[in-house]
Structure 1
Amino acid sequence: MSRILLGLVVLGFNVAVQDVHAFDILNTRLVNDKAGERCSGRLEVRHGHHWGTVCERGWDVWDAAVVCRELDCGFVLDIPNGIRYGRAGGEVLWRDVKCSGDEFALDLCERSLNEHVCTHSQDAGVECTGKLPAPTLSIHSRFNAYSSGEAVQFKCTAPYWQSVIDFHLYKSGVDTPLVTQRADPKQMMVDLTLSDLEMFHQGSYSCLYRIHSKLRNAPSGDSPHSNYINITVVDIHTPQIWYNTSPEARPGWVMRGHSFNVTCSTQPQYPGGSFQLRLIRPNGTIRHSLPALAPSVTFTFSNAQSNNEGYYCCLYKVQTGERTFISRESQPLPISIREVDPVMSPVVISLLVSGLTFVVATCAILIAAKVYCKRVRKPTELERESRTCVDNTYIALTVK
């Protein structure tokens, strides 16, 4: 019993190995007179140990697409008559092949045995594109960073020239091409221009080319994607500017000797950015710079003097790659340095407030006393006040 089981196991193993090797056997080929050209020629299929041809009766582009896929030869370009590739030997084995176009091998398609219906003058031929190599993408500029509104010009080069092809520029994460350009036969390179850049366009780009078959309604074939190129889009806004100083100063004034701050602010920010503060004076221009570690940066002046007077302007500056991007200057901020008025100094103001408070309080007390005195009881109209002195005491007598 054990020997029988062992034999079955060995037999099953042998069958499995034979099945696996069966997939490695070439059952379809394209034959022509050109050495090394395996992706176009007269179609032949294996029958046992012999090769035979396929009749072009019922043969269409979907059948040919399966052959190109099985041979790893790209996509269908044409289905010429097999005589173009020389006279065949052997038999015509199949006719009326019917493929859906999705099969990965021709012997999975429906077909009929020829049975001497077709002759070699009706042999089917297939012309495939061959395995399409990936194109190469480059840019005309030596920079990879661009400002909003600019254009970037890519160059896509394809090592394929046998038919009309379309070039497509893709952005990573976007399914549809952003730019498409048709090339004529034997034109191996096209320019793909991305105009009026916005922040949306920042990212990684590649190109591919699409082969158009010589046959009507034939499926197109896409090459692999090219190498990827990253571009950066810099969108710099005009910064805002304002200042702060002591509260007693009027708008646009800074008291001499007092401190004041000028703040520049903008969005968005970029690594390595900086704010430039420019002071415009009649006798020249002074510039200050601080790194943009936050959306807003404050320039502090601790002791205001005449040389701090003038018009202040902000701008934002950032260097990305080998390019430097500079924003427009902000609206000018006028600042005038004024002398401190001794009459209206804080001490004088404090004394005036104290004196005014004392006067108001005194007036309030006098008014309250006067009102109180008026409230003392008055005699009636029938009373006449008469005073007499009795034991140094005044009394009031009522006269009837």
Structure 2
Amino acid sequence: MDQLLLLMLLLVSSDSVRLLGGTSLCSGRLEVKSDQSNPPWSPVCEADFDQQDAKVVCRELGCGAPSVLQGALYGGEAPMWTKEFQCGGHEAALRDCRSSGSDRNTCSAGRAVSLTCSESVRLVGGDSRCAGTLEVKHQGDWRAVDCYNAFWSLNTAHIACRELNCGSAVSVERRIGSSGISVWLIRSDCVQSGYALRECAISVPSNYTLNLTCSDSVRLLGGTSLCSGRLEVKSDQSNPLWSPVCEADFDQQDAEVVCRELGCGAPSVLQGALYGGEAPMWTKEFQCGGHEAALLDCRSSGSDRNTCSAGRAVSLTCSESVRLVGGDSRCAGTLEVKHQGDWRPVVSSPSTQKTANVACRELDCGSSVSVRQIKASSDRYVWVIRSDCLGYSLRDCATPSNSNFFLNLSCSDLLFQPNISVSSSMVGVSGAQQQGFKMFRGSTFTISCSIQPQYPGGSFQLNFTSSSSAHNYNPKPAVNHSSHFLFPSVELAQQGNYSCVYRVSAFSHDFSSESRLISLSVTDPAPFIIRAVVLPLNLLLVTAGLYFYCKATRGRLLGRQEDIELDCYNLGVPAAEEKGAK
């Protein structure tokens, strides 16, 4: 397979033009080799390149017709090609075209041509160019496509939709076709490794073809699945560029329409600036009622709006089309998946546990606790989930079938996490406020375990671990959803880590949930008692010393003042009186 791909790459390569930085060999920044004896490549200025030139480049590279011709999309600050191409559109190679006689040096920085050629891919027989039977042109021959191992995920189909500039994949279905026709077998693993569809094509006879539906005018980019990311809308079918949508022009009803159009579940998160989006914004406000089949079916504001600040593109997460029905909570029951507009029970092949874990995660219900096959009275339409596909969402991995078995499962996140807190006879400390606390040896303290009301009954067990031992205290029933463990006289051996484990039985299954750890350290109180006695005594002695010192100093100052007044009387006042008498 690798040798075949290498051969294909050699066959379609060109020695004088290339596209760099795009998503495939048929998209990127256009560069031209300036001289066969001088290897450097030069970007081409967008002002010197038009649609006819683009047709020639796409043909030379073995790609389909040009679909997007844009400047500055993939950068390009290197010295520019200095002549204008003047192609008629029929030439086999760009270097066969006429060019301007003199050099042109008027191109501003960053205005290199970015070109996207459609891959040699098309959808035929559907209601639009973005739906129908998938066909690929390879070695000059258009053929329908079949898939390796009878399985294509939606993520692989998404690549075909992207090559067609048709948004996101909504559904993929393997249909019975004419008997023994020659088709192109496309390996899913090859496409997802970054190769174009035609680079992964092998000629085989088959009775099956693939039918795809793409979203055409909306897509979500940059998220964790086809149902999350930055919302973009195709602005004009005649100029098929994609524009982010400003969060101020988009609401919950609009989100419901987008999620439905993409074949996803209801919107769960509607947020601005989560996945970026600095491209020019869609300039009209959508005014959906929430019932429309497609976003472009909604009414919109009559005039353009240009009030959106940078980085405020809508980011949308639609819930995956997964649910558990018939159980006592949303995290338990029969597993059903919505695919191609149809809710069906699920059969897994071959790993049911892996399927169950993916389902619990998509439902935000933790991991699978139990999974079992339930037998129905008769065959039903089901979705078979292939475990070799489960790096993706469940609906990406669903193929239709009939069965009288389906999966019933329970997830771990049925329970809230318990709370753990501590109070002491000497110092009250809450474990909810800090991870560790200190306790005096011999003091009394209580560890309290509690949980939010969710199910009646249950019990709490207190677990203890230290560097040298581990111990589980006898469980206590949960009274009013809490239990208390009393320690009347703490010893050094009781310092370590504590956690509360809540256990409860619900709908014929046992579940448990553990709190965070808190740490207890035990200290001998004797040094603290000594310090508590010595420190006040020292303060008392210092205070008394200061008192007597101040009193003695004050006495000396008063005595000295009396002596001064006496001297003044004996020396100054009588002398003045005698002088006045004379």
Q: What TM-score results when the alignment is normalised by the length of structure 1? A: 0.42
Which of the two has greater helix per residue?
2
The structure with the larger Rg is: 1
| Higher relative contact order structure (alpha carbons within 8 Å, sequence separation ≥ 6) | 1
